[in-house]
Each structure stands twice: as structure tokens, then as C-alpha cells.
């Protein structure tokens, strides 16, 4: 299926201070603003990014995972190679757990649920992803209603897998696209100042002591 053309991506990263939520000798946790790439883009004019800003202040910061450019919230970086390997395994083995806050279009039926829909790349329409029952990889998301307003619902989303655009595609498949989504709701995105998706919490084992640690960033919307 050929979907509506995406508008040209204009990169205009926000000029905001670095927000460090926690740091020690092994890791540093930040609150990434919406509109900032996690890592440098391939094209000219896209060098400003979260890891670049962090390394300007913490030279030893090492990438562990990414957030979509349009998504804000908790992002963790390692400060040693050993910690980077350990934290990477936390994500790979699904020991790391995350929650997100989303505002979605329409009134969601029910109070909680589980989405189990495999996903794959929508190659003719990149960077879009899509539900793919034949060749897609398993993708699972739990959701819970935490608020309602006219024409929209506020959800807490818990991805059990880590597919690219998983929450955005699962919400679309559920019939409730995330408000302000410039990729999956091209026609309606301009009505909102940003994608209404925020990485609220991250919990995993600490690379030094092995204890479970929990980080949170307040939702800005």
C-alpha cells in the first residue's frame, strides 16, 4: 500500500538546557527533549543530537539505546565500556522495563488491554513501520487508560518488545493514533506542537551493584 507522502523533514532541534536526571561513575540519565535526534543524522544539518550535547558536558558518555526524534523522556547512557555492555544486555534480554505517556485521538474503549501484533518495515514508505502478519517480528504492548478528555484519551503504555515505532504503530492499529504524529497522522499532526509521546520511566539493573534502579522524567504535556 502506498500511503500519503510524508512532508519534508525540517530539523529544528530545541534550544534548551541539558537536563540530567541522575549520574554516577557508571551511567548518566537524561530527559531528552522532543525534536532532538538521539544520534547524529546522516544528512547535512543534522549533527546536533542528544549524545553530542551530553558528550560536550560528559565526555565519557556512551550510547546504550535510542528514542525517536519526536519523543521526549528518559534516556540512559553508559560511562564505561563495561557498563555499556551490561546495559545493552539489559535491553536485549528485556530486563529493562519502560513506560510511556501518550495522548491519543478518540475515546478508547475499556480501561486496559494488551496488543500483540507483529511489525516490520513499510519499505516503499520509509521510515514508516507497519503491522506485518507474514514477515513481521513479534511486538507486544500493554496499555492502561489514565485520563480522558473530549476527543482524546491519555494512556500509559508499556512496551514488552522494542520495535522501531512500536507504540506509534500499535496505537494506529488500535484505531487511536497518537496526537501530533507527523509520520502516521500526516493530515492532523500540524494541529499539535509536538508528538504527544513521552518516555516516563525506565527501570533496570545497575551495572556496578546489580540492584534494580528506577528513573523517571515528568511528562511535559
Cell output for 110: 475499556
C-alpha–C-alpha distance, residues 215 and 221, integer Å:
19
3-state DSSP call for residue 161?
Answer: coil
Residue 199 in contact with residue 211, Cβ under 8 Å? no
Residue 97 in contact with residue 52, Cβ under 8 Å? no
Positive or negative, the Cα torsion across 111, 117, 119, 123? Answer: negative
Q: How many CA atoms lie within 13 A of 158 on its CB side?
A: 13
Active-site position among 15, 48, 68, 132: 68
Could you write out the DSSP letters of every residue in 66-80? ---TT-EEEEEEESS
Residue ranges in 46-194 assigned as alpha helix (H): 50-57, 81-92, 166-174
**In the chain, what are the helix, strand and coil shares in percent, each to the nearest 5?**
15, 35, 50
Residue 71 in contact with residue 198, Cβ under 8 Å? yes
CB neighbours of 126 closer than 8 A, spacing ≥ 6? Answer: none
Known catalytic residue at 48: no
Task: List, by residue number, the catalytic residues.
Answer: 68
Amino acid at each position: 500500500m502506498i500511503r500519503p507522502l510524508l512532508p519534508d523533514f525540517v530539523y529544528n532541534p530545541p534550544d534548551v538546557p541539558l537536563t540530567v536526571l541522575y549520574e554516577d561513575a557508571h551511567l548518566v540519565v537524561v530527559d531528552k527533549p522532543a525534536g532532538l535526534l538521539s544520534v547524529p543524522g546522516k544528512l547535512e544539518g543534522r549533527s546536533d543530537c542528544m549524545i553530542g550535547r551530553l558528550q560536550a558536558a560528559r565526555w565519557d558518555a556512551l550510547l546504550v539505546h535510542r528514542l525517536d526524534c519526536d519523543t521526549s523522556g528518559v534516556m540512559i547512557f553508559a560511562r564505561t565500556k563495561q557498563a555499556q555492555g551490561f546495559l545493552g544486555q539489559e535491553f536485549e534480554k528485556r530486563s529493562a522495563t519502560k513506560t510511556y505517556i501518550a495522548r491519543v485521538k478518540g475515546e478508547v474503549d475499556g480501561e486496559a488491554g494488551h496488543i500483540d501484533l507483529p511489525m516490520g518495515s513499510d519499505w516503499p514508505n520509509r521510515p514508516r513501520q507497519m503491522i506485518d502478519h507474514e514477515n513481521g517480528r513479534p511486538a507486544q504492548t500493554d496499555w492502561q487508560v489514565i485520563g480522558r478528555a473530549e476527543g482524546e484519551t491519555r494512556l500509559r503504555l508499556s512496551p514488552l518488545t522494542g520495535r522501531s515505532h512500536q507504540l506509534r504503530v500499535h496505537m494506529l492499529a488500535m484505531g487511536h493514533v497518537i496526537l501530533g504524529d507527523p509520520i502516521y497522522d500526516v493530515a492532523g499532526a500540524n494541529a499539535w506542537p509536538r508528538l504527544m509521546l513521552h518516555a516516563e520511566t525506565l527501570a533496570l539493573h545497575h551495572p556496578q551493584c546489580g540492584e534494580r534502579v528506577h528513573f523517571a522524567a515528568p511528562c511535559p504535556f
